[in-house]
Amino acid sequence: MTGGLADNGVAADWIACLTYKSSATASPAAGDLDLLVAKARARNRSLGVTGMLLFEDGHFLQTLEGSPAALETLWSSIRQDSRHNHIEVLSEHIVTARLFSDWDLLLDGRINDGPLNLRAAVALPPAVAEHVAHLVELSLNADDLGLNRLMAAFADDGWTADAIVSLLIEPAGRALGDAWLDDECSEIDLTIGLSMLQLAGHAVRYSPSPQTIRNSRYRVLLATAPGEPHMLGTTLLADQFLASGWQVDMAFPASEEALTNQINAQHPDALDIGLSDAVPRPHALTQLRSAVEHSRLVAAEHPTVISVGGRLFAEATATARTVGADYARSDVAGTSIKLAELVQRNRQR
């Protein structure tokens, strides 16, 4: 494992939990993934490893859990597998109980209009898209009780916090934006729906992680882009960074000056500036570029790692380079780990 979970003295019955994403090196043919999963299931069972594997649009997302030693063995095979590359570890935890206790490897595939129908091959889970649609409906109806119940049900079913946020809540935010762009709901409906999703995000529980101790000295300022009214991503990040032990400050600045004043006052190690997660606003990129540039100038004496996010980055319309940032998050999952790495690198310079 990247962090060596096996040898840091945890109790023998604790469970290591690893989530990563990667890109398929070639488009798998109909039988390829079935074969991969059949073999993986057999090996996972023999190693006592459980988890889930998602495949969508050429990307894998996998969560694996098992004894630190078993995971170490498996991970050294998986990370060398030439069927995927650009492997990015999103989270690595030690937990006391399994989330995927009954699933030796749950596969869910979503390939738009493709020849594969992987979901037909497995009984579980019901389509992720249906969950997203359900989430959108509850949000538009401002049904907070229903949302809380749904979040609790996902956790009971073994969904990790990262999976709930990046596979359900963030896509639901984009779906709400689409509904507004298509005139299917009013702007006020969109605002209410997004705040309902924020509440749903607060109900997501992150497991305690070894990161907590490691990052306790880091301070992050989580800001919406100047004048940006949508704050879903920023609030989702707040829960994640707090759970990882960061000191968290938040800013919803009306102007670039308000943002730079706050940076000046707080000297954060990392700054995240979020555009709307619901609607793509390409014209906002010019202002974001200016906000990033000026944030760097005020932070000159205390170099700050700057990350950006929002729907334009989730859909790869823009990159970190477009706006001069150090990192662009394509989703919220794993951001605190990525920024911790960048802050560490910054300090070693």
Ligand X SMILES: Cc1cc2nc3c(=O)[nH]c(=O)nc-3n(C[C@H](O)[C@H](O)[C@H](O)COP(=O)(O)O)c2cc1C
Contact range with ligand X by CB under 6 A, out of 27-35, 60-68, 191-199, 270-278: 60-68
Contact range with ligand X by CB under 6 A, out of 39-47, 93-101, 122-130, 311-319: 39-47
Token pair for 195 = 């705040």
* 60 is a site residue for ligand X (CB under 6 A): yes
The distance of closest approach from Cβ of residue 122 to ligand X in the complex, given in angstroms and rounded to an integer, is: 14
Instruction: Please identify which residue in 17, 18, 36, 118 interacts with ligand X, judged by CB under 6 A.
Output: 36
The distance of closest approach from Cβ of residue 19 to ligand X in the complex, given in angstroms and rounded to an integer, is: 12
* 184 is a site residue for ligand X (CB under 6 A): no
CA distances from 272 to 63, 101, 323 (A): 26, 35, 13
Cα(252)–Cα(235) distance, integer angstroms? 11
Q: E-strand spans in the chain?
A: 15-24, 50-56, 59-66, 84-95, 106-110, 219-224, 247-251, 270-274, 305-309, 327-328
The distance of closest approach from Cβ of residue 74 to ligand X in the complex, given in angstroms and rounded to an integer, is: 6
The distance of closest approach from Cβ of residue 46 to ligand X in the complex, given in angstroms and rounded to an integer, is: 9
CA atoms within 13 A on the CB side of 239: 21
Which sign, positive or negative, has the C-alpha torsion 58, 232, 279, 188? positive
When the beta carbons of 21 and 131 are compared against ligand X, the nearer one is 21
Look at the block and give the residue holding tokens 């009780």: 145
Cα(1)–Cα(314) distance, integer angstroms? 27
DSSP 19-76: EEEEEESSPPPHHHHHHHHHHHHHHHHHHT-EEEEEEETTEEEEEEEE-HHHHHHHHH
Neighbours of 29 (CB within 10 A): 10
The distance of closest approach from Cβ of residue 259 to ligand X in the complex, given in angstroms and rounded to an integer, is: 40
* 43 is a site residue for ligand X (CB under 6 A): yes
CA geometry: angle at 337 spanning 193 and 144, to 5°? 20
When the beta carbons of 60 and 100 are compared against ligand X, the nearer one is 60
Contact range with ligand X by CB under 6 A, out of 37-45, 207-215, 236-244, 247-255: 37-45
* 105 is a site residue for ligand X (CB under 6 A): yes
* 59 is a site residue for ligand X (CB under 6 A): no
Size of residue set near ligand X by CB under 6 A? 16
CA geometry: angle at 19 spanning 13 and 20, to 5°? 145
Residues 66-95 contacting ligand X, CB under 6 A: 74, 77-78, 81, 83-84
The distance of closest approach from Cβ of residue 82 to ligand X in the complex, given in angstroms and rounded to an integer, is: 8
Q: Are 49 and 66 in contact (CB under 8 A)?
A: yes
The distance of closest approach from Cβ of residue 40 to ligand X in the complex, given in angstroms and rounded to an integer, is: 3
* 118 is a site residue for ligand X (CB under 6 A): no
When the beta carbons of 86 and 217 are compared against ligand X, the nearer one is 86
* 116 is a site residue for ligand X (CB under 6 A): no
When the beta carbons of 78 and 285 are compared against ligand X, the nearer one is 78
The distance of closest approach from Cβ of residue 6 to ligand X in the complex, given in angstroms and rounded to an integer, is: 17
CA geometry: angle at 164 spanning 211 and 143, to 5°? 125
* 40 is a site residue for ligand X (CB under 6 A): yes
* 62 is a site residue for ligand X (CB under 6 A): yes
Q: Which residues bind ligand X (CB under 6 A)?
A: 22, 36, 40, 43-44, 53, 60, 62, 64, 74, 77-78, 81, 83-84, 105
